[in-house]
Homo-oligomer: A and B are copies of this chain.
Amino acid sequence: MPFFRRLWCRRLSLIEYSLRFCSMSAKNTSLILHKLRGLMKNSHYVTEELQAYIVPSEDAHQSEYIAPCDCRREFVSGFSGSAGSAVIVQNKAAMWTDGRYFLQAERQMDDNWTLMKHGLPETPTQGDWLSKVLPPSGKVGVDPFLLSAERWKELSKTLESNGHMLVPVAQNLVDIAWNDRPPPPNNPLIVQPLKYTGSTWQDKVRQVRAKMKEKKVGMLVVTALDEIAWLFNLRGSDIAYNPVFFSYAIVKEDMVGLWIDETKLDAAVLHHLNAAQQNGDGSDITVTLYPYDSIKDYISALMEGITGKVWISNKSSYALVSLVPQNNHYGELSPIAEMKSKKNSTEIDCMKRAHVKDAVTLCEYFAWLEKEVPKGNVSEMSAAEKLELIKRQQEDYVSLSFSTISSSGPNGAVIHYRPVPDTNRPLSTDEIYLCDSGAQYRDGTTDVTRTMHFGKPTAFQQECFTRVLQGHIALALVIFPNKTKGHMLDTLARTALWEVGQDYLHGTGHGVGAFLNVHEGPCGISYKSFTDCPLQEGMILSNEPGYYEDGQFGIRIENLFLVKQAETKHNFKNKGFLTFEPLTLVPIQTKMLVPSMLSQKEIDWLNAYHLLCREVVGQELKDQDKQEAYEWMMRETEPLG
């Protein structure tokens, strides 16, 4: 699933898949805005009157996906897109969002709102706009848990240089006005056993402590939910598609703390966390539990008279980062982000197993579609439902890893499309079908896109598909020095399209978790990001170039790849060289190709890939007794040329 990097915050939300089409008509926001404007002046809630109030998209953990109780920006504006930041002043309300959402935001927001088209040269930044519309010495309020420290710093600087001030407002004003706000999710946790994780949480804590020692910090505060789930080998279901749970964690030399609602923890989880384990030095590592809401007070109390360094990433909330005295603050990316991204051999084996099962489901699905689509009874929605049913049959299936992008014809050109009744389109032999799907299994997370035609593609469609595949292959084949940054590889996936003046507006690849979030930092392959983490052995990334002809069709070919050591004749400066190994093993439709456009090297890659599908997935299809799917797979993997 492609990944868009928002310009004004760390993570991207894909919540659109679950929310964007809840309402496509404008919500009347007069009452809620009236209430909010009252609260902005109500001394019971604010220490001084606010001239503006910002409602960001994120939750207190700066999550990409958020829970319904955190959809505050949608509640105040009606706009349900994934990216957007609302600002309310006394006589105006404005929404910044990017090109993907201009149309949707216009439809979903009423006249109270002005749409600020982020990315257009004439659109002011939020800071610049506020600086202009505010009265002198304006106070701009925001819930400090919902803004990262780095974003706070940036916005605050702009406001201050124009004589205004960014003010933390402890009580969230939207929550006060939101009568029927859903309660925070409180789902039970499960232990992710060693057979999947390959490393005990105690060993991970030791690794983290070694990293802390290296950086000379005495304490690490962890706020990203997937980092906490990874660290403790626990999974939850507080947020759709993401097996995470609301919590904070702190690691010090002499303690490990987890801030969580204890009702989420059953006896097995408690046992797991308290499992005393004798260290070499004779000490035990156990986890001390604290109430979720007490994190701020805990950190505050610790800061009195603190002498050492405290590691809390600037990507964490301003509310927590600002508790740490500046001279004691170490704000680099959490060490867990990189550790988590480098999968160990157990995680890799498990991810491979999950991908084989997932390939089985797609072979079964496409075989079924090939039979059913010509009958005219399949729609984008019914197809997606069928796929989910098929996936459910697989061992250790947990859920989808995102809402399936099942799109036919012109809907395929809407990159972040999700079928809903209003837009639902029949699948037919006249249109291209783009299917981007993924699942969470206990042993791993998948994400794969295939673009198929069940009739006869046009020559133009074939040419576009071939160029997209050439990009995919160029990236799949590249050998590169250890620690190359992913953005340096992005161009390889584009040159075949550029050659004729085509391109695509999303990045080429994102990191993927191991039974964790389908979009996982800190590595990626995108021209938009230069701060990405260097690529290293064990990382797992998507390779998903595309081409989108607005109003007509969309093409994307996505596999997940493992970064592994390359065998090279030389080894320049002993850097080591890396390459990619495909995890996704699903046939690529050769009917969509213009074989004469492919080089021998490209044909060889495709044939070798299809042979791997036959060998690995073929065996599994036989073992699972999926004869029809097996035959489909064998037909679809006939070698070219």
Answer yes or no: A481 CB below 8 A from chain B CBs: yes
Contact B500 A481 (CB under 8 A): no
Chain B residue at minimum C-beta to C-beta distance from A577: B501
Contact A570 B491 (CB under 8 A): no
Contact A501 B479 (CB under 8 A): yes
Contact A530 B527 (CB under 8 A): no
Taken together as a complex, chains A and B put the C-alpha atoms of A571 and B491 apart, in Å, by 17
Answer yes or no: A599 CB below 8 A from chain B CBs: yes
Chain B residues with CB below 8 A from A8, complex form: none
Residue-by-residue, is A217-229 near B (CB-CB < 8 Å gives 1, otherwise 0)?
A: 0000000000000
Residue-by-residue, is A498-520 near B (CB-CB < 8 Å gives 1, otherwise 0)?
A: 11111101000000000000000
Per the 8 Å Cβ criterion, residues 50-88 of A in contact with B are none
Contact A500 B568 (CB under 8 A): yes
Cβ distance A524 to chain B, nearest Cβ, rounded Å: 14
What would 28 A/B residue contacts be, using CB atoms closer than 8 Å? A478-B495, A478-B498, A479-B495, A479-B498, A479-B499, A480-B498, A481-B503, A485-B527, A488-B490, A488-B491, A488-B527, A489-B491, A491-B491, A492-B495, A498-B577, A499-B568, A500-B568, A500-B570, A501-B566, A501-B569, A501-B570, A501-B571, A501-B577, A502-B570, A503-B572, A503-B575, A505-B573, A599-B599
Answer yes or no: A279 CB below 8 A from chain B CBs: no
Cβ distance A413 to chain B, nearest Cβ, rounded Å: 13
Chain B residue at minimum C-beta to C-beta distance from A549: B570
Answer yes or no: A596 CB below 8 A from chain B CBs: no
Taken together as a complex, chains A and B put the C-alpha atoms of A527 and B575 apart, in Å, by 16
Count the copies.
2
Chain B residue at minimum C-beta to C-beta distance from A161: B327
Per the 8 Å Cβ criterion, residues 466-481 of A in contact with B are 478-481
| Most chain B beta-carbon contacts within 10 A, residue among A490, A570, A573 | A570
Taken together as a complex, chains A and B put the C-alpha atoms of A488 and B479 apart, in Å, by 17
Cβ distance A16 to chain B, nearest Cβ, rounded Å: 22
Chain B residues with CB below 8 A from A489, complex form: 491
| Most chain B beta-carbon contacts within 10 A, residue among A488, A495, A501, A570 | A501
A interface residues, Cβ below 8 angstroms from B:
161, 327, 478-481, 485, 487-492, 495, 497-503, 505, 527, 530, 566, 568-573, 575, 577, 599
Given A485-B527, A487-B488, A503-B573, 20 other A-B residues pairs in contact with their CB atoms under 8 A: A478-B495, A479-B495, A479-B499, A479-B501, A480-B495, A480-B498, A481-B503, A489-B491, A491-B491, A491-B492, A492-B492, A492-B495, A497-B572, A499-B568, A501-B569, A501-B570, A501-B571, A503-B572, A503-B575, A530-B530
Chain B residues with CB below 8 A from A575, complex form: 503
Contact A500 B569 (CB under 8 A): yes
Taken together as a complex, chains A and B put the C-alpha atoms of A500 and B480 apart, in Å, by 9
Taken together as a complex, chains A and B put the C-alpha atoms of A505 and B488 apart, in Å, by 15
Chain B residues with CB below 8 A from A497, complex form: 572
Chain B residues with CB below 8 A from A566, complex form: 501
Chain B residues with CB below 8 A from A568, complex form: 499-501
Cβ distance A161 to chain B, nearest Cβ, rounded Å: 7
Chain B residues with CB below 8 A from A488, complex form: 487, 490-491, 527
Chain B residue at minimum C-beta to C-beta distance from A529: B530
Cβ distance A152 to chain B, nearest Cβ, rounded Å: 19
Chain B residues with CB below 8 A from A492, complex form: 491-492, 495
Cβ distance A129 to chain B, nearest Cβ, rounded Å: 16
Chain B residue at minimum C-beta to C-beta distance from A568: B501
Taken together as a complex, chains A and B put the C-alpha atoms of A485 and B599 apart, in Å, by 28
Chain B residues with CB below 8 A from A571, complex form: 501
Chain B residues with CB below 8 A from A503, complex form: 481, 572-573, 575
Chain B residue at minimum C-beta to C-beta distance from A99: B573
| Known contacts A503-B573, A572-B503, A481 near B495 by CB under 8 Å | no
Chain B residue at minimum C-beta to C-beta distance from A599: B599
Cβ distance A99 to chain B, nearest Cβ, rounded Å: 10
| Most chain B beta-carbon contacts within 10 A, residue among A327, A490, A573 | A573
Taken together as a complex, chains A and B put the C-alpha atoms of A499 and B577 apart, in Å, by 9
Chain B residue at minimum C-beta to C-beta distance from A571: B501
